[in-house]
A and B are shown apart, each in its own frame.
Chain A
Amino acid sequence: MNDVAVMNDVAVTNDVVGSTGPLVLGIESSCDETGVGIVRGNTLLANEVASSVDQHVRFGGVVPEVASRAHLEAMVPTLERACAAADVDLSELDGIAVTAGPGLMGALVVGLSSAKALASYLGKALYGVNHLVGHVAVDLLDHGDLPTPCVALLVSGGHTQLLLVGDIATDITEIGSTIDDAAGEAYDKVARLLDLSYPGGPIIDRLAAEGDPKAIRFPRGLTARHDLERHRFDFSFSGLKTAVARWVETERRDGREVPVADVCASFQEAVCDVLTAKTVDAALEHGVKHVLIGGGVAANSRLRSLLEERTASAGLQLRRPRPGLCTDNGAMIAAVGTQVIKAGLRPSSMDIGANSGLPVSTVLV
């Protein structure tokens, strides 16, 4: 937080927690989705997203410069679509929320700059918020106020984290994360070595449905006893990816046809087994009753069913936002905005920067 606040013409509204809650516009541009959402309290009014994923397919991963160029092209049209869809008077906004990090620097600054222009023009408070917290907060748009404390599992191409959420605006602790690849990244890499399309998550999920998850026993990262001592709630998918690569390589070398569906099912089982086991363990260890899942991989059918099964048998309540809200979007950032306003936190200074490595414990910059 900067000591010298530059907030020309900013009116900080205090009387915002009415029957309907704060009205917030949220902007997201941390990776390959340009998102603008408008939220009133726990109600979603608009959620427009423009994705540049198609432009990254031939690279097999997000190229930062390609993503940044796409953000610039999509930013204002997406903003205009969201404003038209929500049909609210922008002068009634209680604040502008924007992803301040973590994410790709060149991508983040496009959304941040647009948000600052909006806040300055409208004379509204600016809230630079944490992208990861957005994946948690978005659930309140589907299921109402968050039950806290809860354990949140965030899984996507860029995140694999276990968070302990005491208070969504002020008290978030990372209790575990991947020490190498993110889960979604492992899906992309395995898809590539099986000559499947990018992104890998949806296609592996689809093929896995036709395969045998017990066909091949792939390793479960960081689950051995000596690993659990230091990495009880951490994840590792690099070894799994290598194991799949070696297995496929051996089959090909020996002239056998690779049973793609079985490889997909067995790989997916290994990922979901570890994710769900550690999530349930974390909830029980921290004595919380609620588990929440977010991020693009939360749409995965096996992860969902296995987590439902295991949370139910452990007596835990599971919450998951609809798949359309699990991937990156502006509504999730607006949702964080409503929470920090309700908590009475001070708006961000107009001279904040983007922080590509913003720690999850920093909800508001």
Chain B
Amino acid sequence: MEITIDRDKCIGSGACVLASPEVFDQDEDGIVVVLDESPGSAEHASVLEAVRACPARVIEVE
């Protein structure tokens, strides 16, 4: 799994951090920071949840 994000679109909701705290974090402005761009399979379900929970569709996975 490879994660790409469009940081310009992020509205700092934190929904991704709540869904998948091992993979996503926020900077001081609340904008998403990816901690692990190719997370192991243990995180796949939580990352997919973050993708769907994000109100701004910032996160993409391949």
- Report if A and B associate in a common complex: no
Binding site for B on A (CB under 8 A): none
Residues on B close to A: CB < 8 A?
Answer: none
